[in-house]
Amino acid sequence: MTGTQRSESANHMLKNYVPPACPMNLFVKHYAKVLFDREQEEGFQEKSTKLAGVVLKVNIPIECHASTVYTRAMFELFGKSLYYSGSYYIKELVPRTEYLATHVKAESREKWYKSRYKVVVSEFRDFFSCECGLFEHMGMICCHALNVMIVLGLNEIPRKHILKRWTVDARDSLPEHLKHYQKDVGLPDCTTFRHNAMYISALELVMMGDSNPEAFDYVMSGLAELKKGALPLSNLKDGMSLIEKRKACNSSSVGKSVPSKCSQKQNIDDGAASSAGKIEWRNAKARTVGGDGKSSVNGNGNIEANSASSTVQGDDLSTVDSNIALTSRTMDTESNMSLLPPKKKPRMRGHPTTARDKSNYEINDKRSRFCTICRGKGHKRTTCPQRGNEPQKPRKIPTCTNCGIAGHRRNTCSKVLYSTLDGVPSVGCI
């Protein structure tokens, strides 16, 4: 998507909310309303994608893969491209590099209508460039490149052709150093025992620090000190961390699927951890970190945790596994108790309304009236406690609006009404 289209799309969206020549405070208020409406629409589409079923038109492997990747609306566009791809036949120009997609009715079409498109395939078949430019324009695979993929026998859409903004995990975005935890990246292939143990401990800290502001400040200050002290120690790599194993697997599988070396390493690590019960360190040195809730590494390469919840040693892994399982169950129970579903509103009679839920800044409260003596809310000046012994004003005696005399009203007044119009006689009210 080009920059001009982005700015025009943003202008078109803001024009529906922000009036022209509005001050800055109104612009911020309406901009917050735009964000609220867009997030509500995204949530509705995400729920529709999860609830709506997938209808396959051709039932080929690449369509099945697209149904698990794209959202509901984008999968419908993919189905149209797949349908239009059946109207083209492929001719190979350069072996495994260039292909020509020609429409089946190219001869009967008008001369101004383009019926032939050249598709260039990369060396590892991970990118398909078509001269129609649909993918470069909106990020969706065109029918010509899709037909070439089917001819070459691809079972999945290449990763370079899947833009995250069109996928079901578009809202799952993490920083660069934490991207391996995203949903679209997948679960870690090579897990280690120390990674799982630290992950459980980190979840415990998050749960405790979220209790109150004092606990949050204490946990954040402790994490800052711990990060500062662990930074020089983490420079020494032993090649067994999660990130290093993933990099090793990716470097050995260029242009191929994930090889079996990664799974073999994982099986070797799991077998060694369960049988020997020790975590081997290369060039391990005796380091001790004091204080409650911190860990230490002894000379034998064993990890000892000083927290009150668990103790990790190289010779007693069964105790550690039971402690981690108990901790996870406790965390699940507490999270279920704290994250209760909201109370259901009483359903009104009749047909349900289509009005959406409004945010707080869109709800207009009734005008508050203040006392003219103390400027307080909830009472008038006649009942104000600061009024003191000041006598109340006497009530005015009602008088007739016609003659100004008390004792009767205008409809019972006997005063003669004098007419100022020619030809209209003067009459009395009675």
Contact status, residue 32 vs residue 25, Cβ threshold 8 Å: no
What's residue 127's pLDDT?
94
Amino acid at 250: N
For residue 424, is it within any domain?
Answer: no
Residues in the chain: 430
For residue 181, is it within any domain?
Answer: no
What's residue 255's pLDDT?
47
Give backbone dihedrals phi and psi of 352, rounded to 5 degrees, phi first: -65, 145
Render each residue's pLDDT in the chain as its tens digit; 430 residues: 344 455 566 777 788 888 888 888 888 888 888 888 888 888 888 888 778 778 888 889 999 999 999 988 889 999 999 999 999 999 999 998 999 999 999 888 888 889 999 999 999 999 999 999 999 988 899 999 999 999 999 999 999 999 988 888 887 777 766 666 676 665 555 556 777 788 888 888 999 999 999 999 999 999 999 988 888 888 888 777 777 777 777 776 544 444 444 444 444 444 444 443 333 444 443 343 344 444 444 444 344 444 333 334 444 445 545 555 555 555 555 544 456 667 777 776 777 666 667 776 676 666 677 888 888 888 888 888 888 777 777 888 889 888 888 888 888 888 766 666 666 665 554 4
- Does the predicted TM-score (pTM) go above 0.75? no
What's residue 420's pLDDT?
65
For residue 405, is it within any domain?
Answer: no
What's residue 186's pLDDT?
56
User: Can you list the positions of beta strands (E) in 56-213?
Assistant: 88-94, 98-103, 116-121, 128-130
For residue 171, is it within any domain?
Answer: no
Residue 70 sits in the same domain as residue 30: no
CA-to-CA distance for 168 and 45, rounded, in angstroms?
10
Domain that holds residue 89: 61-166
| Number of domains the chain is built from | 3
What's residue 122's pLDDT?
93
Residue 47 sits in the same domain as residue 65: no
Residue 222 sits in the same domain as residue 155: no
Residue 322 sits in the same domain as residue 274: yes
CA-to-CA distance for 43 and 49, rounded, in angstroms?
10
